[in-house]
């Protein structure tokens, strides 16, 4: 996150965005819901191809603002602010959510297990899988989008106030701010939605409802 945020050249940014999304994609695969089962490795192959596609696409999109800024000299200070400071944050948030949705797509294609209050599995629900993936994608977008956006805002006010007269000190301060925001946002992101998600009876498929009289069901959301 830190290295990606301090890049000023498109090629360097593309490489570090690729590294970043590779790590987050691997983390997503390991910590997803394990209900969908592979048949002759078709599921693993699908997730591998989806993951590689999502990583490549997200890295290119993430490096796009710097590529645009490097190719076209932006004389307007407002355009410089938008392209170099403001645009990368929502792009990183959106691409982080996109990689989650892509690599965990088998969960809403095939469904995940839902349980009653006693932990007994009552069926496999595509709607629960969709809810789990969307919640995880949203929490990941908030985590990395805020981690990119908030330090830029804070550093803007630090530079305006001229707390540090030596420009060389701004680099270490920026890294410290990013680390602090990231450390603070991690628990916020993980606690946005419970890992043991809840879904109402009315939101489930009829074939599951026909086998039980329970009104509330639970599922493993993953992180």
CA distance 147 to 120: 39
Higher pLDDT, 32 or 160: 32
What sign for the dihedral angle of Cα 132, 134, 138, 144?
A: positive
Number of domains in the chain: 1
- Per-residue confidence (pLDDT) for residue 9, from 0 to 100: 80
- Strands 112-115 and 196-200, bridge-based pairing: unpaired
**Start-to-end Cα distance in the chain:** 18
Classify residue 59 as exposed, middle or buried by CB count within 10 Å of its CB (0-12, 13-18, 19+): buried
Higher pLDDT, 141 or 4: 141
pLDDT at 41 over 60: no
- Per-residue confidence (pLDDT) for residue 39, from 0 to 100: 59
- Domain containing 214: what range? 1-220
- Residues 99-125 have pLDDT tens digits of 999 999 989 888 999 998 888 999 999
pLDDT interval class at 38 (50, 70, 90): low
- Per-residue confidence (pLDDT) for residue 56, from 0 to 100: 95
For 161, other C-beta atoms within 10 Å of its C-beta total 8
- Per-residue confidence (pLDDT) for residue 63, from 0 to 100: 87
pLDDT at 58 over 90: yes
- Per-residue confidence (pLDDT) for residue 75, from 0 to 100: 61
Asked if residues 98 and 141 have their Cβ atoms less than 8 Å apart, the reply is no
Local structure of residue 7 (DSSP, 8 states): -
The CB-based long-range contact list for 7-15 (8 Å cut-off, 24+ gap) reads 7/66, 8/66, 8/84, 9/66, 9/70, 10/63, 10/66, 10/67, 10/70, 11/63, 13/62, 13/63, 13/66, 14/59, 14/60, 14/62, 14/63
Determine the average pLDDT of the residues in 50-59. 93
- Residues 168-195 have pLDDT tens digits of 777 788 888 889 999 999 999 988 998 8
């Amino acid at each position: 996150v830190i290295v990606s945020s301090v890049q000023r050249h498109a090629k360097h940014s593309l490489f570090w965005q690729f590294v970043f999304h590779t790590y987050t994609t691997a983390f997503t695969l390991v910590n997803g819901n394990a209900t969908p089962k592979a048949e002759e490795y078709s599921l693993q192959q699908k997730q591998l191809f989806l993951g590689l596609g999502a990583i490549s696409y997200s890295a290119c999109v993430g490096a796009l603002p710097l590529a645009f800024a490097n190719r076209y000299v932006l004389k307007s200070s407002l355009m410089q602010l938008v392209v170099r400071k403001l645009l990368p944050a929502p792009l990183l948030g959106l691409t982080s959510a996109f990689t989650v949705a892509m690599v965990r797509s088998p969960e809403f294609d095939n469904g995940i297990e839902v349980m009653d209050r006693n932990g007994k599995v009552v069926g496999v629900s595509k709607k629960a899988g969709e809810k789990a993936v969307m919640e995880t994608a949203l929490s990941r977008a908030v985590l990395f989008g805020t981690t990119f956006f908030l330090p830029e805002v804070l550093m803007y006010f630090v530079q305006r106030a001229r707390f540090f007269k030596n420009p060389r000190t701004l680099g270490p301060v920026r890294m410290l701010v990013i680390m602090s925001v990231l450390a603070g946002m991690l628990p916020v992101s993980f606690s946005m939605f419970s890992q043991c998600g809840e879904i109402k009876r009315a939101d489930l498929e009829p074939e599951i409802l026909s086998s039980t009289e329970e009104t509330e069901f639970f599922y493993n959301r993953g992180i």
